[in-house]
Structure 1
Amino acid sequence: MADGNTQRRQDRFHGRIGSGEQMCAHPGCMERGEFRAPGAARSSFDGPGDWRWLCLEHVRAFNSGYNFFDGMSSDEIEQAQRPFAGWERETRAFSAAGGSAGPRWGDFVDPLDAISARFAEARQVRPDGRPLGDADRRALKTLGLTAEADLKAIRKRYTELVRRYHPDRNGGDRTHEKALQDVISAYTHLKAAPAFA
């Protein structure tokens, strides 16, 4: 059993993948074709190309005669040898607000407006041009306010919600304690946020 595994490992290491049932495709050769080499029909859009089977001697000759640049002009060869070949494609710039600019597919269909709504939210800025971060948007949502709210509106809404949720205002009922903590946390965040400074 170990001999079979060792033999298979050696066969694979040397590139032998054929069973040896085929004969070498080189004209006049009577050796077994155990190595695969590309045939006349190369891989293309229509599918993979064909293969031919060669013996060890002829597959070595085939490999030594391989030239990547065969059929290329001197300008094409120079272009392929540049250190940064392939890196000249356009990439999207990073957003100043930290969010992505969103998809640029002209024919993309978004019937539920799910993706574009996500990107519209990520690009949301205040009327004064200051960008809002994710934490700012969450805090505003907790207080039930929009991005247009200023610090005065935030204080007013904070006061209303503290009065509503505080146990002293609703007969000692502590069921709104989590909501009260969220409101206090949101207000603390917003009053120190750069967008509202």
Structure 2
Amino acid sequence: MTAYSKYFDKIKVRPDKKAEAQSRAPVCQWDGCHEPGTHRAPVGRMREGEYFRFCFDHVREYNKGFNYFSGVPDTDVARFQKEAMTGHRPTWKMGTGAQATSNPDFAQKRSGNAGYYNRMRDPHSVFGGATRDPNRPRERKLKSLEAKAMETLGLDAKATGADIKARYKELVKRHHPDANGGDRGSEDRFRDVLQAYRVLKQAGLC
């Protein structure tokens, strides 16, 4: 068989599945990164089933600070853990089953309106909930990375997107290498501000 034999055309090479997956993957969602986003990372609580796409290095960085229960009171976390033991189903003492089913609250409990996991949001009061005051600002619950980023910028959870952008521009102007006179501490602060703004922008807060 020669080097240019027709049999070479029939040889099948096993495809490189890793390279093929990388070529089909979207770009990493970490700000400034252009590597393939081959790894999924959960967006967070109340947004189950939604994921960010990161490269290997950035998914590790994201997972270090991820906390599903960020912003949830300890009492709610404890109740969630207790209800998880029964699969978040309503329970009652033995011998009280008939009384429990005749209780008007039983239908509500069974429908899934009771319990941390099965609570559902009803912003328009479709199911008879209390009407929310439209003038009252919505409380924002930050994840640990977002809270740390806000703290770096000197802001709290009530800060708006405009507040974040204005504060970011102010700090960048103050600590930029061209304006800090070679101050090493100011350069470190500049990098922290850039990273904090990247986290908040990625979370859709600005």
Q: Which bin holds the TM-score, normalised by the shorter protein? A: 0.3 to 0.5
The normalised TM-score by structure 2 is 0.34
The normalised TM-score by structure 1 is 0.36
Larger Rg: 1
